[in-house]
Structure 1
């Protein structure tokens, strides 16, 4: 039984217990629970998982930011991630698993603090090429909540009704909606392409071939000549592979963080 548990958790057979680097989940425009609901519990069985509330539209930090008319941009959000890790985790080096906009925050953080990052997994990261298409904002303006959520998925049947209900409720809340749009406005034109070569840790990049928000070919082009980056394209998949192909992504992320190899 001891050996079985050791093998499952990835502990070394000869050296005894060794705690793995904390796994930090960095969400994009969707908030934490909506970004990782099929993944968090699975990864928590193998890793010390943390889900920082960097982007919380209805929270006091963002609402205060709006009142003082300060921008909600990549620098501000990266500072928020840094503050969380420094104050509440305090156990670098970290494994970062990031979705969409969260990919930009993770690249910025790793470029600032290379010694604090062990490995990175980027899921449909934004800011790698041309400006992203954001049907999510148009859907919200027209109260088309079904279209708003379905724009993320290639297989629309996988758009959970509870997620549609969640956004319908949130967009009825004016302060929440305002913070969301200010975040889009402050981050949509930012690029991390010039920072990619500064990130030296092993990095796995996973894109959905049918992503309608981020151009997967532009992402592939941005990383293809960087030796520490692995790129994987998932067919029949949209902008949130961790939701649309959760079992596959759960296995790929676990395998990459444990042994450094990713692939479909």
Structure 2
């Protein structure tokens, strides 16, 4: 990670640049490094903030999407943020959707990429066998169109997580919470502009998920990235940045 981590009031986060706030939320198995090239590009004009979501730190009984949304709200209050543009990948997008319903006054716009909230096929329908590195490698590669994007460092990070018993218990609790917390009935209430930037080859939240989001969100646009899986900002970061810039420019943000 090339950016310095900051700490305060129990939060750990990256903060770069000045201007309109872009708040980035990572996914269930994601981390800060997923957004490096996005931060590098947009810190030139925006205040880009990326908090570490404490997915593995909540009590098991309270581990869930709503708890993460409350954490994000506390962070936004701590940083005194207003008119936030929230960007979320996978679980981070789901958390953003829940947050936008609870606190619509805090957000100016939202960008979702590979977001859960309607449907997801995490790990290709099966959870990794903890003892099998090769199985974990296969399932991490499943996230991407090009399996080479799943670097040995990324695979090792996921392997370490799924071999930590406490982390796995919370990981499963969070995944189950995401499945239970379907957003279909509530999406019509989200009135802010939403850009859906989706990998056309996403196998975890497939293209029909993006199309349903586009249909149900009142003010949304849908942009595709070809030869791309579940994490466009990692697999095709420059194309992702171009589409993000177009959205921000079009909306005068």
Q: Same fold (TM over 0.5)?
A: yes
Other structure's SS at 2:185 match: helix
1:84 Cα offset (Å)? 0.9
Q: Is contact 2:191–2:219 with CA below 8 Å preserved after alignment? A: yes
User: Once the two structures are superposed, what CA deviation does each residue of 1:237-262 show, in whole Å capped at 9, x if it has no partner?
Assistant: 1111111111111222133223339x
Q: Is contact 2:28–2:55 with CA below 8 Å preserved after alignment? A: no
Q: Is contact 1:21–1:91 with CA below 8 Å preserved after alignment? A: no
Cα 1:147–1:38 change in 2 (3 A) is: farther
Cα 1:103–1:85 change in 2 (3 A) is: same
Cα 1:98–1:225 change in 2 (3 A) is: closer
Paired positions, count:
232
Alignment partners' CA distance in 2, 1:218 and 1:259 = 24
Pairing 1:93–2:83 present: yes
Q: Which residue of 1 aligns with 2:50?
A: 51
Alignment partners' CA distance in 2, 1:217 and 1:182 = 26
Alignment partners' CA distance in 1, 2:231 and 2:129 = 18
Alignment partners' CA distance in 2, 1:245 and 1:47 = 21
Pairing 1:173–2:164 present: yes
Pairing 1:183–2:174 present: yes
Alignment partners' CA distance in 2, 1:196 and 1:152 = 26
Alignment partners' CA distance in 2, 1:225 and 1:169 = 38
Q: Is contact 2:130–2:159 with CA below 8 Å preserved after alignment? A: no
TM-score with structure 1 setting the length: 0.80
Q: Which residue of 2 aligns with 1:146?
A: 137
Pairing 1:103–2:102 present: no
Other structure's SS at 2:249 match: helix
1:42 Cα offset (Å)? 2.2
Other structure's SS at 2:93 match: helix
1:141 Cα offset (Å)? 3.9
Q: Is contact 2:32–2:52 with CA below 8 Å preserved after alignment? A: no
What is the root-mean-square deviation of aligned Cα atoms in Å?
Answer: 2.1
TM-score with structure 2 setting the length: 0.83
Give 2:110's match in structure 1, choosing from 103, 115, 120: 120
Which structure 2 residue ranges, 5 or more long, are not aligned?
1-17
Give 2:122's match in structure 1, choosing from 119, 131, 134: 134
1:226 Cα offset (Å)? 4.3
Other structure's SS at 1:104 match: helix
Q: Which residue of 1 aligns with 2:34?
A: 35
1:153 Cα offset (Å)? 0.2
Structure with more strand by fraction: 2
Alignment partners' CA distance in 2, 1:142 and 1:148 = 14
Cα 1:176–1:100 change in 2 (3 A) is: same
Alignment partners' CA distance in 2, 1:20 and 1:220 = 32
1:142 Cα offset (Å)? 5.5
Alignment partners' CA distance in 1, 2:214 and 2:198 = 12
1:31 Cα offset (Å)? 3.5
Which structure 1 residue ranges, 4+ long, deviate > 6 Å from structure 2? Answer: none
Q: Is contact 1:139–1:147 with CA below 8 Å preserved after alignment? A: no
Give 1:255's match in structure 2, choosing from 222, 241, 246: 246
1:176 Cα offset (Å)? 2.2
Pairing 1:197–2:188 present: yes
